[in-house]
Amino acid sequence: MNTQNIRTIVENANNITDFQRKVYLALLDVPCGKTISYKELGERIGCPNPRAIGQALKRNPFSPFVPCHRVISSNGNIGGFFGKTDVKAKAKKLELLQKEGVILK
Protein backbone atom coordinates (compact mmCIF):
# COMPACT_ATOMS: atom_id res chain seq x y z
CA MET A 1 0.00 0.00 0.00
CA ASN A 2 1.83 3.05 -1.18
CA THR A 3 0.88 6.64 -1.58
CA GLN A 4 -0.04 6.09 -5.22
CA ASN A 5 -2.69 3.58 -4.29
CA ILE A 6 -3.98 5.84 -1.57
CA ARG A 7 -4.34 8.65 -4.06
CA THR A 8 -6.35 6.37 -6.33
CA ILE A 9 -8.58 5.34 -3.46
CA VAL A 10 -9.24 8.96 -2.56
CA GLU A 11 -9.96 9.88 -6.16
CA ASN A 12 -12.35 6.96 -6.49
CA ALA A 13 -13.95 7.58 -3.11
CA ASN A 14 -17.49 8.73 -3.77
CA ASN A 15 -18.60 8.58 -0.14
CA ILE A 16 -16.79 11.79 0.68
CA THR A 17 -17.29 15.38 -0.37
CA ASP A 18 -15.14 17.28 -2.81
CA PHE A 19 -13.68 19.30 0.01
CA GLN A 20 -12.39 16.25 1.84
CA ARG A 21 -11.00 14.85 -1.41
CA LYS A 22 -9.04 18.07 -1.91
CA VAL A 23 -7.72 17.95 1.62
CA TYR A 24 -6.58 14.36 1.29
CA LEU A 25 -4.96 14.96 -2.07
CA ALA A 26 -3.11 17.98 -0.72
CA LEU A 27 -2.01 15.94 2.26
CA LEU A 28 -0.72 13.16 0.05
CA ASP A 29 1.14 15.79 -1.90
CA VAL A 30 3.26 16.39 1.19
CA PRO A 31 6.48 14.36 0.96
CA CYS A 32 7.38 11.86 3.67
CA GLY A 33 9.37 13.35 6.48
CA LYS A 34 7.73 16.73 6.10
CA THR A 35 4.89 18.38 7.95
CA ILE A 36 2.27 20.92 6.93
CA SER A 37 0.04 23.24 8.87
CA TYR A 38 -3.72 23.48 8.58
CA LYS A 39 -3.40 26.95 7.21
CA GLU A 40 -0.97 25.79 4.51
CA LEU A 41 -3.37 23.05 3.49
CA GLY A 42 -6.19 25.56 3.40
CA GLU A 43 -4.18 27.83 1.18
CA ARG A 44 -3.43 24.94 -1.19
CA ILE A 45 -7.05 23.91 -1.53
CA GLY A 46 -8.41 27.43 -1.20
CA CYS A 47 -10.01 27.21 2.22
CA PRO A 48 -9.92 30.57 4.03
CA ASN A 49 -10.51 28.96 7.40
CA PRO A 50 -8.34 26.12 8.74
CA ARG A 51 -11.11 24.92 11.03
CA ALA A 52 -12.81 23.20 8.14
CA ILE A 53 -9.54 21.39 7.48
CA GLY A 54 -9.54 20.00 10.98
CA GLN A 55 -13.12 18.85 10.53
CA ALA A 56 -12.33 17.07 7.30
CA LEU A 57 -9.28 15.42 8.82
CA LYS A 58 -11.03 14.49 12.02
CA ARG A 59 -13.93 12.92 10.13
CA ASN A 60 -11.58 11.39 7.61
CA PRO A 61 -12.80 7.90 6.62
CA PHE A 62 -9.22 7.05 5.64
CA SER A 63 -7.65 7.33 9.07
CA PRO A 64 -4.55 5.21 8.41
CA PHE A 65 -4.61 5.76 4.66
CA VAL A 66 -4.10 9.49 4.72
CA PRO A 67 -1.14 10.75 6.79
CA CYS A 68 -3.30 12.98 8.94
CA HIS A 69 -0.53 12.91 11.52
CA ARG A 70 1.57 14.96 9.14
CA VAL A 71 -0.69 17.94 9.68
CA ILE A 72 0.19 20.20 12.58
CA SER A 73 -0.71 23.65 13.81
CA SER A 74 1.05 26.81 12.78
CA ASN A 75 1.40 27.84 16.38
CA GLY A 76 3.96 25.13 17.04
CA ASN A 77 1.28 22.96 18.59
CA ILE A 78 1.00 19.39 17.46
CA GLY A 79 -2.74 19.83 17.09
CA GLY A 80 -4.76 16.67 17.54
CA PHE A 81 -4.95 13.10 16.40
CA PHE A 82 -7.87 10.75 15.84
CA GLY A 83 -10.30 13.33 17.10
CA LYS A 84 -8.45 13.98 20.33
CA THR A 85 -6.26 16.81 21.48
CA ASP A 86 -5.03 15.00 24.54
CA VAL A 87 -1.37 14.79 25.32
CA LYS A 88 -1.55 11.07 24.55
CA ALA A 89 -2.64 11.73 20.98
CA LYS A 90 0.04 14.35 20.64
CA ALA A 91 2.67 11.92 21.84
CA LYS A 92 1.42 9.33 19.35
CA LYS A 93 1.62 11.78 16.50
CA LEU A 94 5.04 12.87 17.63
CA GLU A 95 6.16 9.27 17.62
CA LEU A 96 4.82 8.75 14.11
CA LEU A 97 6.51 11.90 12.91
CA GLN A 98 9.77 10.86 14.49
CA LYS A 99 9.50 7.51 12.73
CA GLU A 100 9.09 9.38 9.46
CA GLY A 101 12.21 11.30 10.25
CA VAL A 102 10.59 14.58 11.15
CA ILE A 103 12.43 16.52 13.78
CA LEU A 104 10.33 18.96 15.75
CA LYS A 105 10.27 20.44 19.17
Partner DNA sequence: TGAATAATGGCCT
Partner DNA sequence: AGGCCATTATTCA
Q: Which residues are catalytic?
A: 68
- In terms of CB distance, is 3 or 73 closer to DNA? 73
CB of 2 to DNA, least distance (A): 20
Which residue type does 98 have?
Answer: Q
CB of 82 to DNA, least distance (A): 6
Q: Which positions ≥6 away from 29 have C-beta within 8 Å?
A: 44
- In terms of CB distance, is 33 or 83 closer to DNA? 83
Scored b (16 or more CB within 10 A) or e, 85-102 reads: eeeebbebbbeebeeeeb
Given a contact cutoff of 8 angstroms between Cβ atoms, the answer to whether 78 and 90 are in contact is yes
Residue ranges that bind DNA, judged by CB under 7 A: 17-20, 37-39, 47-60, 63, 68-69, 71, 73-75, 77, 79-85
CB of 36 to DNA, least distance (A): 9
Q: How far apart are CA 19 and CA 48, in angstroms?
A: 13
- In terms of CB distance, is 7 or 82 closer to DNA? 82
